[in-house]
Structure 1
Amino acid sequence: MLVKTLKIKKNFLNSYNILISSFEKTPDEDIIILYTNDVHCGINESIGYAGLSYYRDKVVSKKTPYVALVDAGDHVQGGTIGSISKGKYIMDIMNAMNYDVVTPGNHEFDYGMEQFQYFAKNLSCSYISCNFRSSETGNLILEPYKILEFGEVKVAFVGISTPDSIAKSVPSAFMNKEGDFIFSFDGGNAGEKLRTSVQKAVNDARAEGADYVIAVGHLGEKGDITKEWSSPDIVKHTNGIDAFIDGHTHEVTPSLILQNKEGKFVPITQSGSKLNYIGQVTIGKDGQIKTELIGPDQVTFRDERIYKLIEKIELNYKEKLNEKIGEVRFDLNILDKDGNRLIRKNETNLTNLITDALLIESKNYGGADIALCNGGNIRASIRAGDITYGDILKVLPFTNGACIVEMPGQAILDALEMSVRKYPESNGGFLHTAGLTYTFNPNIPSSVELDDKNMFIAVSGERRVNNVLINGEPIDLEKRYKVIADSYILLERGDGFIFEGLTEINLNFALPNELFINYIKKLSIDDMEKYRKPQGRIIYNDMER
């Protein structure tokens, strides 16, 4: 690949493409930028890394000498290979793939800051981000952009990380021992800080001689995100970006065309998740920019070198993953019929099973009155048939420890209000329960107040949540209840939860997936029948769900 690094620090959709004219210097051959986003450990699902490597080396590289490979974040988490190795195996694969540019997503921080530092040090191309900085010094942690040279043309890639990284990863990773935030993603001032940081990086890259600027962001377009931190908002309030490679929301977007601050048309593109598609951005010899998605029907071969590397890694743990722990006659679901993540705004049979597992298994560690689990923690469905160890690690891949704490009823009530504040939009912080039922009214506007990091402050008006019952009795706001959940929401402010009056009782005594496995092992296939349908723990005031 004839690419020179100038700045660096330690199926059906394929035919739908958009041409955007650019008046920059034109290359002597097409520049093709292949990209991935939100792979989430999908190393050999759909196209897979071996398919991507083949497509780059045997298809695209025959068309042009100017090829780059880019990733827009969320690669080390989301599957067994990530949780078992805390992302190290993914680093090995990405280095073998020879990525040129990578922006960290929020889930790159899931294993803690020390592990992220390991990733940043060991990823051969390193990370870029124009808005990840020290709150104490104001200095950026990573280089804001990277310039690659394709013949006489220079292309800058500006990294942009979502400010939601703090609330949607492990907030404690960004704190010091005193609990103060010492890292920032420029999330304040209703999006103005982020826009300013992006514009500065773009301007600096242009000043350094970049002919084209491609944003590589982990922001998302819509859904469970903060609008002021979205890719459309950045495009509309900046200038100088020629195309935006996006991630975070798993959207299949060949090209979303928006006008920037100066009225220039800029394409935003995103390739879904788990390598279901390969994203492709082409800067043509005529200066036009085309964005498109490459489907699995176009990638019919694989790179044996990458395939054998993955196969070798998987052999290290495959036997254990295939171990049977239970069986079920029906699917245990996290998705609706259209493939949307139902668990981020509705109860399902799988969420009932998981929260019951936490509550019942807590008896071995002191016991609890209720169990809570956020929808974003549950990552896969379980199909009818045998349930294996590997299935459970796909469902609950995170390594935040299970904890038992005590808190007043008021803190629980506030957490439920925080949980439903976005409804009917999806919310990774939507709480599922055992030992607790409640009703909420979506017609009442949410009055939850948040700080500039999307952390809970207060409920200032009428509440959506009512008729909260704990083990069949109305909640007592002054009574203290024992709660089991993972450390992510209880102690680390995950999804913005802050529990006033919390007292620690038993911390990190097991992983939630271990408790889930232990519970399933105790259930016969007939016992599982009670989870055939959702049990009505969350009631929507006669509203259609």
Structure 2
Amino acid sequence: MPVKQSFKSLLASSLAIGLISSQLTMPAFAQSKDKHETKQQKDKTYKLSIMHTNDTHAHIDNVAKLATAVKEVRAAKPDSLLLSAGDVFSGTLYFNEFKGQADLEFMNLLKYDMMTFGNHEFDLGASPEGHQALADFVKNAKFPFVSSNVNFSKDDKLKNLYKGYSLKYKNGNIYSAMIKKVNGENVGFIGLTTEETKDISSPENVKFENYIREATKDVKLLELLGVNKIVAVTHLGYDDNPEYDNDLNLAKYVDGIDVIVGGHSHTQLNAPVVVTTDEKGKKKDPTVIVQAYQYEEYLGTLDVEFNKKGVVTGQAGQLIKLADKADDPEAAQLLKKYSSKIAELKNKPTGGVAAKALANPRGDTGVSVRSSETELGNLITDGMLDKAKDFNPNIVASFQNGGGIRAPIDQGDITYGDVLTTLPFGNTLATMKLTGSEIKTALEHSVSQEPKENGGFLHMSGMKLTYDSTKPAGNRVVTMELKNADGTFTPLDLNKEYVIATNAFTAKGGDGFTVFQNAYNQGRVTDLGLSDWENLRDYVAELGTVNPQIEKRIVDVARP
């Protein structure tokens, strides 16, 4: 990983280069002002226009409508930038089959200007190929990546793509900070990825630094280079867990950021949010935050007006609903190259038939796959337990993190497409030896954020849990019971050792399960190497008629 230069040395070198050559390609730090800049100086205002997407997760069936919306915006505002706030990877069969290259072809077609990394870009790190798919994605991109707080130096496939700071950026490379001439003036960009990635993905040797510290460094650098308009492209979450990071805190704690184009929390900000106070509640220059929900359902747009000092004086933004748009003919024709292959895979039957639709609800109110027992969660964990018992009949229970269940299953024939879309990450089945006390610790973590959504909320088979959400986190579990062969239940013994099954992601400590990570580090985990979607495929085929029920496996005693 190239060493970040000191602010003074980098400033000196940039000015020296600027004196030597007046023909610098973007970003250019010293160029004569054009007529447009002269007019803007006279008006003492500057307008920046941005289009943005986030958390598209390989949902490219809507991409022809996205292309139409992008072209319409560019027709009205030719200088508009198009930015991605990450999580292009993982979520549909398009990713399973094409490992990001299908998405990338359309991003190149739409001429994205830059992207930052989401946590799911690192999902394949634990695979035999490591981050090869991500490296290929970066190298084949016709745009650069901006990433200020990610350390790639220990990853053999990514480290050579990282270029640190550079006066001349090239497509297919990663930069800590960038300067791009837009609409006649220089605009600075930084990129940030949630530190939670280490817990919710598989980054392996890729490391994540503190977002406040790294953002502060890069903003100061850009300001030393004379840039007074700075955009942070982030994958932190709008109001996500503040113990990790989020955009609201970034706006409060880091001076000098004018715009935050965000992702990760899948937040639908129908209008921009403007933060005008710092972490101490004192007035600060405005920071405008935007985010465009998920799955290419919207194209976000933002217009920001600055005064001559680079302070935001006005803003307007909206989400363009793509369902209302016609398909762009060129993009629609290109999509057929991929969709025809996916259609074949989608339609292959597993042999199972869903007697009813199996929902996968989301949302912090009511029932959610990330905070409540669901029929689909019960089906998946039943399948895990059934498969694991083939290898070890002593296994007593299975756990599946709610964040790994990504889509519902419709009533009727269950196809390969259904199970692959529901379990898209290719996690393998693992068994783990735990004491009853360690299981209790894991279950406390599972319900620690309830009723708020938590990707680490555990669905289960082979046991029942009751808890009280009104109690402090870490002290919520009321009862834990294991299911006996005759259907009766026995209380969990905190001092006894048990064998449970889960996916390898969770077994290694994913979603913050440090108790599982400790067991993994101590050699108490066995990875069976069986893909989760294949396990579900086999289980529904074995059942024939698939009709799971809510069985009060997970009950909050505080709810009526």
TM-score normalised by L of structure 2: 0.80
Q: 1:131 to 1:123 in 2, by over 3 A?
A: same
Residue 448 of structure 2 aligns to a residue in which SS?
coil
Q: Look up the match of 1:486.
A: 503
SS in 1 for 2:414: strand
- Provide the C-alpha distance between the structure 1 equivalents of 2:401 and 2:358, rounded to a whole number of angstroms: 17
Matches within 5 A, 1:190-209: 194-209=211-226
Match of 1:74 among 64, 82, 87: 87
Whether the aligned pair in 2 keeps the contact of 1:24 and 1:211 (CA below 8 Å) is: no
1:50 aligns with 2:64: yes
Number of residue-to-residue matches in the alignment = 486
Partner of 1:329: 355
CA shift for structure 1 position 164: 1.1
Matched with 2:374 is 348
| Counterpart position of 2:333 | 308
* CA separation of 1:482 and 1:155: change in aligned 2, threshold 3 A: same
- Alignment counterpart, residue 297 of structure 2, candidates 271, 276, 282: 276
Counterpart AA for 1:43: I
Q: Does 1:255 align with 2:272?
A: yes
| Contact 2:480–2:492 (Cα < 8 Å) also in 1 | yes
**Whole-angstrom CA distance in 2 between matches of 1:185 and 1:316:** 40
Unaligned residue ranges in structure 2 (runs of 5+)? 1-24, 29-40, 165-173, 308-312, 484-488
Aligned residues with identical type, % of pairs: 27
Q: Return the match for 1:537 from 553, 556, 560.
A: 553
State the alpha-carbon separation in 1 of the partners of residues 465 and 291 from structure 2. Answer: 37
Displacement of 1:231: 0.4
Which residue pairs with 2:422 in the alignment? 395
Stretches of structure 1 lacking an aligned partner (at least 5 in a row): 8-21, 176-181, 187-193, 448-462
Q: Rate the CA distance shift 1:276–1:227 in 2: closer, same or farther, 3 A.
A: farther
**Which residue, out of 191, 201, 210, partners 1:169?**
201
Question: CA offset at residue 96 of structure 1?
Answer: 2.9
Q: Do the aligned residues in 2 keep the contact of 1:490 with 1:498 (CA within 8 Å)?
A: no
Say which SS state the counterpart of residue 515 (structure 2) adopts. Answer: coil
Q: Which residue of 1 aligns with 2:542?
A: 522
Contact 2:519/2:525, CA 8 A, preserved across alignment: no
Task: Return the letter of the residue paired with 2:408.
Answer: S
Give 1:418's aligned residue.
445
Cross-structure match for 1:149 = 181
Quote the Cα distance in structure 2 between the aligned partners of 1:327 and 1:488: 28
Alpha-carbon distance in structure 2 between the residues aligned to 1:340 and 1:294: 28
Q: Give me the whole-angstrom Cα distance separating, in 2, the residues matched to 1:228 and 1:542.
A: 28
**Secondary structure of 1:77's partner?**
coil
Shift of the alpha carbon at 1:64? 2.8
Q: For 1:99 and 1:25, how far apart are their aligned partners in 2?
A: 29
Structure 1 letter corresponding to 2:27: L
Change (3 A) 1:228 1:316: closer
Contact 2:93 2:342 in 1 (8 A): no
| Distance 1:339-1:52 versus aligned 2 partners, 3 A rule | farther
Query: Is the contact between residue 195 and residue 209 of structure 2 (CA under 8 Å) also seen in structure 1?
Result: yes
Find out whether 1:185 has 2:222 as its counterpart.
Answer: no
User: How many angstroms does 1:351 deviate by?
Assistant: 0.5
Deviation of 1:95 (Å) = 2.6
Q: Which amino acid aligns with 2:340?
A: L
Compute the displacement of 1:67 (Å).
2.1
Deviations 1:390-443 (A, max 9, x none): 111111001121122322222212111111111222110011110011111112
Residue matched to 2:252:
236
Who is 1:178 aligned against?
none
Q: Would the aligned equivalents of 1:271 and 1:278 in 2 still touch at CA under 8 Å?
A: yes
Q: 1:431-446 alignment to 2 at 5 Å?
A: 431-446=458-473
Tell me the alpha carbon deviations over residues 213-253 of structure 1, each in whole angstroms, 9 at most, x when there is no partner.
Answer: 11111111225x23561101111112212221111111110
Q: Tell me the distance in 2 between the aligned counterparts of 1:492 and 1:337.
A: 24
Task: Give the counterpart letter for 1:302 in structure 2.
Answer: D
Range that drifts further, 258-267 or 492-501: 492-501
Aligned to 1:450: none
Change (3 A) 1:265 1:284: closer
State yes or no: 1:467 paired with 2:479: yes
Q: State the 1:285 CA deviation.
A: 9.0
Deviations 1:316-360 (A, max 9, x none): 332121123322232212216999870111101111111001111
Which range moved further: 374-383 or 332-341? 332-341
Return structure 1 stretches of 4+ with deviation > 4 angstroms. 22-25, 134-142, 284-287, 336-341, 500-506
Paired residue for 1:122? 140
> What is the rounded CA distance, in whole Å, between the counterparts of 1:477 and 1:373 in structure 2?
21
- Which amino acid in 2 is paired with 1:429? G
Distance 1:174 1:505, change over 3 A: closer
- Deviation (angstroms), 1:108: 0.6
Bigger RCO (CA 8 Å, 6+ sep): 1
